[in-house]
Amino acid sequence: MRSGFHVAKLFGIHIHVDWSWIFIFLLITWNLAAGVFPSLHPEWGLGMNLSMAALASLLFFASVLAHELAHSLVAKARGLPVRRITLFLFGGVSNIQREPEDPKTEFLIAAVGPLTSILLGIIFLVIGGAGIPGLGQLTQQNTTGFLASLDPFKTLLLWLGPINISLGIFNLIPGFPLDGGRILRSILWGITDNLPRATRWAAGVGQVIAWLFIITGIAMAFGVDVPIFGRGVIGGIWLAFIGWFLNNAAVQSYQQVVVQDMLEGVPVSRLMRSDVQSVSPDMTLSELVDSYIMGTEERAFPVAEGDRLAGIISLEDVRKIPQPNWDITKVRQVMTPADQVEWVSPKEDVSDALDKLTNREIRSVPVLQNGQLVGILRSRDILKWLQLHSGSPAK
């Protein structure tokens, strides 16, 4: 189950905020309100500090959203479906529903995000510094005094500028699956003409960089003064945490490509179950529970009228209806109609079907041929096939 909440829909893409985003939003707001802004503007009151800090945090995440939107819009322009953008603890992620088909597409999608962040940073700096005399002679020694002389609007813009430029540069680090790692993968892919091999090499580089982050973060936490990063327990733990996240992401990204490669060319008809256990739309929920849900391990059932799919009903759909009403509520009243159901064809690659299962966060999908229900494909059957063909024992 996805955590968080939906906030908007832009260019046909759902914008989703994970609950972990709230933590980092509050952390940035607190850091600005309690430390950065009071040191620059001691004349600001508590209310001013809090409001400016909250606004700065919101604009920062709007910048992160612009970064991800750039990825998504280029992906859509290159023919790749994008369902959702999620803002979470470490920034944002675009839910591009399948791998790019060629190295050029991979390069363009990856490169546009950091370029957007850097361009935004430059724009913020130009607007924030407009009309300020002596900006060109600014040095590290007089930066604090200079910023203290600015009004709230310019203070905000001159904080957002370097932050966005830093975000863009950080994402260019060649640690897969960061944007820089994806750029590296696109180059390796173009050289080798082999996506799994390019992914393995890029993921290996990503793991090396991730471990460098972890080691550096631990060193900082123990008081070692690291160039650029400095030292300190909080900063060190945070850097090590980012390294841990990147390491896991690199491993998972490579595993996903390996799985896709193993399933490429395997038709849905090979793994689907043709003995479909469908239910009637005129069945009551009580009959459904007693005769089907309680007697099997299935959590969702196709609803069929003859050999035509009428919809899908799941355990979650039944739970929405109070139990005293099960005897008078029919399946057709609570099912998901067929026109809203994700389905696959028997000739479709299982790799594409797995994308649909994953992106929709469902466990099974009906198989239709010429509009007729001919089978059902379950995620556990795909997993069993992968275990058998990878030499792993099924559990």
Tokens of 53: 């800090």
Residue 68 pLDDT level (bands cut at 50, 70, 90): very high
Residues 38, 26 contacting (CB under 8 angstroms): no
Residue 131 pLDDT level (bands cut at 50, 70, 90): low
The mean pLDDT of 172-187, rounded to a whole number, is 92
**For position 344, which CATH number holds?**
3.10.580.10
| Percent of the chain's residues with pLDDT above 90 | 33
Is residue 113 domain-shared with residue 218, that is, in the same domain? no
Instruction: Tell which of 263, 293, 327 closes a domain.
Output: 263
- Tens digits of residue pLDDT in 278-323: 899 999 999 999 888 887 777 888 998 887 888 899 888 899 999 9
Is residue 258 domain-shared with residue 272, that is, in the same domain? no
The mean pLDDT of 358-369, rounded to a whole number, is 82
Residue 54 pLDDT level (bands cut at 50, 70, 90): very high
Sign of CA dihedral 200, 203, 209, 210: negative
Is residue 298 domain-shared with residue 158, that is, in the same domain? no
Does some domain include residue 182? no
Structurally, how many domains does the chain consist of? 3
Is residue 314 domain-shared with residue 232, that is, in the same domain? no
Residue 369 has pLDDT above 70, yes or no: yes
Q: What distance in Å separates the CA atoms of residue 7 and residue 21, rounded to the nearest whole number?
A: 13
- Torsion, CA 291, CA 296, CA 298, CA 304, rounded to 10: -40
Is residue 25 domain-shared with residue 154, that is, in the same domain? yes
Is residue 254 domain-shared with residue 124, that is, in the same domain? no
Does some domain include residue 156? yes
Does some domain include residue 184? no
Q: What distance in Å separates the CA atoms of residue 166 and residue 379, rounded to the nearest whole number?
A: 41
- Tell me what the pLDDT averaged over the chain comes to: 85
- Torsion, CA 238, CA 240, CA 246, CA 251, rounded to 10: -150
Does some domain include residue 93? yes
Residue 138 pLDDT level (bands cut at 50, 70, 90): very low
Q: Which long-range contacts (CB under 8 A, 24 or more apart) does 129-136 make?
A: 129/154, 129/158
Does some domain include residue 177? no
Residue 130 has pLDDT above 80, yes or no: no
Nearest Cα residue to 298 out of 315, 318, 280: 315
Nearest Cα residue to 277 out of 134, 163, 351, 378: 378
- Tens digits of residue pLDDT in 257-275: 888 788 888 899 999 988 8
Residue 394 pLDDT level (bands cut at 50, 70, 90): very low
Nearest Cα residue to 176 out of 289, 89, 260, 252: 252
Tokens of 140: 């590290």
Is residue 288 domain-shared with residue 348, that is, in the same domain? yes
H or E element that contains 367? strand 364-369
Is residue 148 domain-shared with residue 286, that is, in the same domain? no
Instruction: Tell which of 245, 263, 281 closes a domain.
Output: 263
Does some domain include residue 181? no
| pLDDT value of residue 135 | 53
| pLDDT value of residue 140 | 43
Residues 197, 103 contacting (CB under 8 angstroms): no
Does some domain include residue 395? no
Residues pairing with 367 in the sheet: 344, 375
Distance of CA 173 to the CA centre of its chain: 19
Is residue 289 domain-shared with residue 140, that is, in the same domain? no
Residue 134 has pLDDT above 70, yes or no: no
Q: What distance in Å separates the CA atoms of residue 353 and residue 362, rounded to the nearest whole number?
A: 11
Instruction: Tell which of 124, 141, 172 closes a domain.
Output: 172
Report strand pairing: 13-17 vs 82-88: parallel
Is residue 13 domain-shared with residue 162, that is, in the same domain? yes
| Burial per residue of 19-31, b for 16 or more beta-carbon CB atoms within 10 angstroms, e otherwise | eebeebbeebbee
The mean pLDDT of 145-152, rounded to a whole number, is 70
Is residue 11 domain-shared with residue 158, that is, in the same domain? yes
Tokens of 176: 């897969």
Does some domain include residue 144? yes
H or E element that contains 201? helix 195-221
Which of residues 380 and 118 earns the better pLDDT score? 118
Name the residue range of residue 276's domain: 268-390
Is residue 53 domain-shared with residue 195, that is, in the same domain? no
| pLDDT value of residue 66 | 95
